[in-house]
A and B are shown apart, each in its own frame.
Chain A
Amino acid sequence: MKTILDIENLHASINDVNILKGVNLNIKAGEIHVIMGTNGAGKSTLASVIMGHPKYQVLDGSVYFNNENLLEMKVDERARAGVFLAMQYPSELPGVSNVQFIKSAINAKRDKDDQIKLLNFYRIFKEKANTMKISDDYTNRSVNEGYSGGEKKRNEIFQMLLLEPKLVILDEIDSGLDIDAIKVVGENVTNYFNEHIRDTAILIITHYPRILEYIKPDYVHVLHDGKIIKTGDFALAQKLEKDGYDWILQK
């Protein structure tokens, strides 16, 4: 399988504080990777650096996505190329309706003479809203405005389904979700992945293995002090849930 994401020796900082101190990670199409780690280990920073958040500075290393140098691309160029970050704290967009926002985002990926037809858009929008169990009044609501934490996370996955990315990064998508919502999110991500397995990969950042009962990972990595210090499979996530991080950090 071809490599989707290739990170080598990545160093990054925020406000002159070094957070990532040499991350190496290779993710191939059809693979699901998980990053776990203690608070402040650099998990969300890694996600933000891949997406291109302007407040982080890349000091060294490289990040390639489908053989393209991601670090030379703007945030919107990365997104249009196929990178999607489901954010830990999605922003609220007062006055911008979900329909307007998602339709504009879909059209941003298309040529000017190939913009999505309104009827076609509404058909797909409705279909995905049903699978995500999103209510009818959602269409004209402002993006994330007044949403609960769980609704925001559900909305992130809904956007993912409509934008059809090649690299899906889920940054603590399970925080704030109730048991039923975790199931809906987990099943939808898995279904999407299975439908696009040939050219898609997933990177999950989480503290808890519960979401992994629905999205089965191939690799679980432990990030500590800005570096990946251990890699295993789902059993590693289960052991971390049971025993915590001390046994790794003491080695």
Chain B
Amino acid sequence: MKTNTLTPAKAVQIYLGASFGTCILIYTGVLLGMFVPCILFFAASAESVFKDPYVDLYLYVDLYIGLTVSAMVAALMQHTFEKTMPGGKFYRSLPEGFTAYRKMRLGMRYLCILVSCLYLGIICAANMVIPFMNHGTAKCVSVLVWLVHALGLADLIQMIPHGTARAVLSSLVMLFSGFGGVMMVYTGMWYVTVLLAVNALWLLPFSYRAMLNSYRSTRWDV
């Protein structure tokens, strides 16, 4: 009997209900949808938002970028498959068992990264056409690096047993990643972003494996 094996994309599709590509487009669309009113609001409330003196406004806009991406990432990462959660037992009964879960987490991570790239890329491109941010490209790249790095941290935080501590910490880390990415450009401390980029190279695979092992022994096999 032929047995279908899941790809990370398909594992995510089972859970989210729409194909991987569709999910990327939807999430990116939602983030852009949150961003556009923000821009319009600031445009309406300032004399001219496209003039240099209004650095503070730019800052708020930039922070907003970071915030929305972080919130989306945090929301995606909250999907766990407890036995008591609706859908938990269905997912656990799938043919690949824990392997399906592992592929789903990997797929979710890819989803976060791809959505962030697309979202930040669109904002970056828009900024090149109608500049509304200073150093727009630099900020977008920096936020992306901080975000990807924060994904690794988030996985490590998932291993903390205390539920509330876990939730609070992961929200803070995500929030800070958006903020921090932007601040690095303002303060000119470029090297921090570069350091994080390098650090992410080992942190991401390590945290992924550590988190899965911990999850398996404390929540899955229990």
Q: Do A and B bind each other?
A: no
